């Protein structure tokens, strides 16, 4: 089932605003939540996801203070399976560093890597593949 919700975890408020606006243009019915701090994102997930929660797509930035996207994933793997199974995770980053791309490709929980800016084509791909 395609996710009806998208969560963005990124410390760049401008990028989040751009993402929300482009998603609303392409998929007006999708609910988008953005969170600036990865730790708060993790708390939000723990507090809000139950066994009957709907699937969700997570767009996760890499370079953030305190916790990077990779640190977030280290904590994500500790979550119960019924929460993890709700998530389709995409790394969304300005980085075009080959090491970041390889790291994303080898992480079991990462579906794909998307270079910023989030484009119409990338959103359509997410909805098709998630």
Partner 1 sequence: MAHITPNSCIPDNTTLYYTVLLDTAGAYLSVNAHYKAHIAPKLSAKGGYSMLQDLQTEDHQVFKEAIKACLSNEEVPQQVLLRMTDAEGDMLPIHWEFSVSTSVSGASIIGCQGFAVRNYYNIIEKHKALISQLSYNQNHVYRKSVANILGVLNLLEFMPLDEHSRSLLHIIQEHTVLLDKDIRAAIDLFHNQGHVSNAIS
> Binder to partner 1 among 54, 77, 96, 105 (CB under 8 A)?
96
Q: Which residues partner with 6 through β-bridges?
A: 32, 57
Number of residues that bind partner 1 (CB under 8 A): 21
> Binder to partner 1 among 6, 38, 42, 116 (CB under 8 A)?
116
Contact between 117 and partner 1 (CB under 8 A)? yes
- Find out whether 118 and 19 touch, Cβ atoms under 8 Å: yes
- Tallying the residues shown for the chain, one arrives at 130
> Binder to partner 1 among 63, 83, 84, 125 (CB under 8 A)?
63
What span, in angstroms and rounded, lies between the C-alpha atoms of 67 and 127? 27
Q: Which two tokens stand for residue 114?
A: 């998307």
At residue 65, the 3 state secondary structure works out as coil
Contact between 19 and partner 1 (CB under 8 A)? yes
Contact between 46 and partner 1 (CB under 8 A)? no
- Find out whether 122 and 112 touch, Cβ atoms under 8 Å: no
Contact between 30 and partner 1 (CB under 8 A)? no
Q: Which residues bind partner 1 (CB under 8 A)?
A: 12, 14-15, 18-19, 21-22, 25, 63, 94-98, 100, 115-120
């Amino acid at each position: 089932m395609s996710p009806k919700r998208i969560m963005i975890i990124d410390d760049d408020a401008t990028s989040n605003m751009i993402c929300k606006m482009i998603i609303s243009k392409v998929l007006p019915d999708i609910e988008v939540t953005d969170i600036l701090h990865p730790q708060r994102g993790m708390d939000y997930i723990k507090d809000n996801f139950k066994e009957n929660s709907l699937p969700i797509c997570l767009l996760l930035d890499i370079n953030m203070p305190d916790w990077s996207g990779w640190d977030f994933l280290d904590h994500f793997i500790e979550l119960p399976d019924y929460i993890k199974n709700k998530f389709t995770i995409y790394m969304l980053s300005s980085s075009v560093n080959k090491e970041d791309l390889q790291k994303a490709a080898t992480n079991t929980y990462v579906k794909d890597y998307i270079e910023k800016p989030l484009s119409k084509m990338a959103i359509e791909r997410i909805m098709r593949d998630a």
